Structure formats: C-alpha cells, structure tokens
Amino acid sequence: MAREIITSARVTPMRSAVNHAVKAGGFVFVTGVTPFKGSERMKAEIAKGDLVAQIHQVMQNMQAILAEAGSSLDRAVKMNVALTDMTRYAEFDATFRTYFDEDNFPARQTTESARLAHPDFLVSIDCIAEA
C-alpha cells in the first residue's frame, strides 16, 4: 500500500514527530489538529480562553490539510475530539455542526482531556476522511 505524507503550508508546522496527515488506502488520516493560527511556529497565535475561536481555527486548519490531500470535510468519516472542559460540549457541538450539512455529519467521539499538547489549547480534533 503506497502512502503519501501530507503537509499544508497554511498550517503551523508540527513540532512533534508527526505529519499533518498521511494518505493511504483510499483515506486521509489527519493528526490531531490544534488551534494554532499562522504558518510559522514561532509566530503562531492562539485565541487564549476562547473555545469558539479555537474550534473555528482547528476546522480551518483541518480544511487546509484535507485540501492539500485532495479531500474535504464533506468526505470526513470519523473524527475524535478532545475538549479540556466537557461542560462546554453544547458550545462545541453548536460550532462544529456549522461545518457540515445536516445529513452528512461524520462519526465522532468527544472526550475530555485534562491537558492537551499546549497549556492554552482548549480543543484538538483528528480525522479520517475519504481521499
């Protein structure tokens, strides 16, 4: 099975030993997308404390990565969401759903994570999409 490494120049480069995504077997496997805004790591911004702004940034980053792989959110089949505060689930869900047609939501699991990769992250989302 051939695999292709996917990176997007519109998304902050990864610091850890991961890529933005890997395309293989007819799918795109997107690493947990974070709410960094900007294409340069040392200049990247985070909307500190603003869950809705962070969700929008994560989804914009996700769209850029999927586009680079020749896919899109409407081809997403499974997403895993990590929230640092599950009491804000309704706020998350209301924002998340704006990125999909009502009859085309991906399968999704949402869990609470006490800490994410950066102390200011409130959300991170990974994705599997059709290529």
pLDDT at 1: 73
Helix (H) or strand (E) segment spanning residue 61: helix 51-68
The predicted-structure confidence for 40-56, as pLDDT tens digits, reads as follows: 877 889 999 999 999 99
Question: Which amino acid would we find at residue 98?
Answer: T
pLDDT tens string 58-92? 999 999 999 999 999 999 999 999 999 999 999 99
pLDDT at 112 over 90: yes
pTM over 0.75: yes
Give the single-character DSSP code of 9. Answer: T
Domains of the chain (ranges; CATH) run 3-130 (3.30.1330.40)
Which helix (H) or strand (E) segment holds residue 29: the answer is strand 27-33
Six-digit token pair at 65?
């990565």
Cα 65 to chain center, whole Å? 9
The whole-angstrom separation of Cα 45 and Cα 111 is 25
Q: Which of 37, 30, 49 is nearest to 125 (CA)?
A: 30
